Structure 1
Amino acid sequence: MERLQEEKVKESLNSSFLDGVFASGMIGFVQDYFAPFLLLLGGTPGHIGMLSAFPNLFASLIQIKGADLADRLRSRKRIINIFVLLQALALLPLVIMPFMGHATPIFFIIIVVLFTSFGAVANPAWGSMMSDLVSEDKRGEYFGWRNKVLGFITVASAFIAGFILHLAKGVNLFLGFSVIFGIAFIFRIISWIFLNKMHEPPLDYHKDSYFTLIDFIFRIKESNFAKFVIFVAMMNFSVNLASPFFAVLMLKDMHFSYMLYTVITVTATLTIHIMINRWGKLADKVGNLRIIRFTAPFIALLPLLWVINRQPAFLILAQFVSGFAWAGFNLSASNFIYDAVTPAKRTRCIAYFNFFNGLALCAGALIGGALLQRLPPVFGYRILTLFLISSTLRFIVAFFGPMKIKEVRSVQKIDSNQLFFSMVGIRPLLGIERKVMRY
Structure 2
Amino acid sequence: MPSAVLRTILVPRATISPEARERGLRFLLIDAAFATAIGALNSGVVLLALALHIGASEIEIGVIAAIPLLTQMLQAPAVTLVERVRRRRLISVACVFGARLALPVYAAVPLIPDRNIAVDVLVAAALLHYGLNAVGACSWNSWMRDLLPEEQLGAFFARRNLYGTVVGAVATLLAAFALQRAGRSDPGGDRVYVALYLIGFLCGLASTAALAQVPEPWMGRRRGRPSLRRLLLRPLRDRNFRSVLRYLASWQFAVNLATPFFTVYFVRELGFSVGFVLTLTVASQLANAAVVRGWGSLSDRFTNKSVLTVASPLYLLCIAGMIFADDFTGELSRPAYLLALHLVMGAAQAGVGLAAGNIVIKLSPAGAATSFMATNALVGALASGAAPIVGGWLTEFFAARKLHLSMEWTSPSGTAELFGVGIVHWEFFFLLSAVLGLYALHRLSVVTELGSVERREVIQHIVQSARYNLRNASSVAGVRQALAFPADALIKSREGTRFLVEALFERHRDTRAPEVAQEAVGTMLDAAFEPPADDMFDALVRKLDAQPGRD
TM-score (norm 1): 0.91
Residue 180 of structure 2: which of 155, 166, 171 is its match? 166
CA pair 406-385 structure 1, distance change in 2 beyond 3 A:
same
**1:404 alignment partner, SS class:** coil
Q: Which has the larger radius of gyration?
A: 2
- Residues 372, 386 of structure 1: 8 Å contact kept: no
Structure 1 residue 269: Cα displacement: 2.0
Structure 1 residue 82: Cα displacement: 1.0
Q: Which amino acid aligns with 1:361?
A: S
Q: Larger deviation: 22-31 or 122-131?
A: 122-131
Counterpart for residue 402 of structure 2 = 377
**1:327 alignment partner, SS class:** helix
Mapping of residues 90-101 of structure 1, within 5 Å: 90-101=102-113
Structure 1 residue 211: Cα displacement: 6.3
Counterpart for residue 12 of structure 1 = 24
User: In the alignment, does 2:48 pair up with 1:48?
Assistant: no
Counterpart for residue 105 of structure 1 = 119
- Residues 209, 344 of structure 1: 8 Å contact kept: no
Structure 1 residue 74: Cα displacement: 1.1
Mapping of residues 203-218 of structure 1, within 5 Å: 203-207=219-223, 212-213=228-229, 216=232
- Residues 304, 391 of structure 1: 8 Å contact kept: yes
- Residues 128, 343 of structure 1: 8 Å contact kept: no
CA pair 4-386 structure 1, distance change in 2 beyond 3 A:
closer
CA distance in 2, matches of 1:357, 1:273: 25
Residue 75 of structure 2: which of 50, 63, 69 is its match? 63
Counterpart for residue 192 of structure 1 = 208
CA distance in 1, matches of 2:290, 2:210: 25
CA distance in 2, matches of 1:149, 1:189: 18
CA distance in 1, matches of 2:178, 2:353: 30
CA distance in 2, matches of 1:137, 1:195: 23
User: In the alignment, does 2:119 pair up with 1:77?
Assistant: no
Mapping of residues 210-289 of structure 1, within 5 Å: 212-213=228-229, 216=232, 220=236, 222-289=238-305
**1:199 alignment partner, SS class:** coil
Structure 1 residue 107: Cα displacement: 2.5
Structure 2 unaligned runs (5+)? 1-12, 327-333, 404-421, 467-483, 495-551
Counterpart for residue 121 of structure 1 = 135
Residue 153 of structure 1: which of 167, 170, 182 is its match? 167
Structure 1 residue 94: Cα displacement: 0.9
Q: Larger deviation: 202-211 or 298-307?
A: 202-211
Q: Deviations over 1:189-216 (max 9, x none)?
A: 1111111122111222544995645675
Q: Which amino acid aligns with 1:136?
A: E
Q: Which amino acid aligns with 2:197?
A: F
- Residues 276, 327 of structure 1: 8 Å contact kept: yes
Structure 1 unaligned runs (5+)? 434-439
Q: Which amino acid aligns with 2:492?
A: G
**1:344 alignment partner, SS class:** coil
Structure 1 residue 38: Cα displacement: 0.2
- Residues 364, 373 of structure 2: 8 Å contact kept: no
- Residues 109, 118 of structure 2: 8 Å contact kept: no
User: In the alignment, does 2:149 pair up with 1:143?
Assistant: no
**2:368 alignment partner, SS class:** helix
Counterpart for residue 344 of structure 1 = 367
Q: Which amino acid aligns with 1:339?
A: K
Counterpart for residue 492 of structure 2 = 431
Q: Which amino acid aligns with 2:245?
A: V
CA distance in 1, matches of 2:423, 2:247: 33
Structure 1 vs Structure 2 CA RMSD: 2.4
CA distance in 2, matches of 1:76, 1:316: 41
Number of paired residues?
430
Counterpart for residue 333 of structure 1 = 356
Structure 1 residue 180: Cα displacement: 0.3
CA pair 403-210 structure 1, distance change in 2 beyond 3 A:
farther
**Greater relative contact order (Cα < 8 A, sep 6+):** 1
TM-score (norm 2): 0.73
Structure 1 residue 79: Cα displacement: 0.8
CA pair 347-217 structure 1, distance change in 2 beyond 3 A:
closer
